[in-house]
Amino acid sequence: MNLSQEQSIESENQIEQRLLLVAKNLISNFDQTLEAMGYIEGAGWLERQRDILTNQKEVSLPTSVAGAQKFLEERAEDEESFGPDSYCVYGQGGFHRYWVMSDGEVIFDSYYAQGQEIEKAKRVGFKIR
C-alpha cells in the first residue's frame, strides 16, 4: 500500500468517525444525515438530491430526500394524520432504500443491499432494518 492509499483510507476512516457521531435524523440533523446517505450512494446521487432541494423543481419527485422533507413537514402540521408513518428514499439507481420515519429517523434497509454496503451503513451510524 502506497502513501496516497494510506491517506485516502485515513480520510475515509475520519469521515466515517465524524458521521458515526450524529444521529441519522432528517429533522434534527438534516445536513449530516444527507451527507451520510451521500457517503454510501456517491457524489452524483448527493449532488442530484441537493439540486432537487435547492431548486424545488421536483419536490413531488417520489423517493427523493426533498419528498421525505415534504412528508415530514406535512406530518408536523397534522400529527393526528392517518397517513403513512414512513417514507422511502431510494439510493443511486434505486438499489438502496432508506426509510424515513415520522420522527425524522432514517433507517437503512438491508433487504436491498449487499453485505459491504450494509457494513458501510453501520460504520456511519445508520440503524439497519
> Rounded to a whole number, what is the largest CA-CA distance in the chain?
57
pLDDT score of 6? 47
Which amino acid does the sequence have at 48? R
Greatest mean pLDDT among 12-16, 22-26, 58-62, 75-79 = 22-26
3-state class of 62 per DSSP? Answer: coil
3-state class of 60 per DSSP? Answer: coil
Say what the pTM is.
Answer: 0.84
| β-bridge partners, 53 | none
Contact 12, 27 (CB under 8 A): no
Q: For residues 52 and 46, give the distance between their C-alpha atoms in angstroms, rounded to a whole number.
A: 10
Q: For residues 123 and 120, give the distance between their C-alpha atoms in angstroms, rounded to a whole number.
A: 5
CA 66 from chain centre, in angstroms, equals 11
Which amino acid does the sequence have at 34? L
Nine cell digits for residue 16: 466515517
pLDDT score of 8? 57
**% of residues, the chain, pLDDT over 90:** 54
Asked if residue 99 has pLDDT above 90, the reply is yes
Quick one: average pLDDT of 45-73? 85
Q: Total domain count for the chain?
A: 1
Residue with cell 424545488: 56
Domain that holds residue 59: 3-128
Quick one: average pLDDT of 101-122? 93
How confident is the prediction for the chain on average, in pLDDT?
86
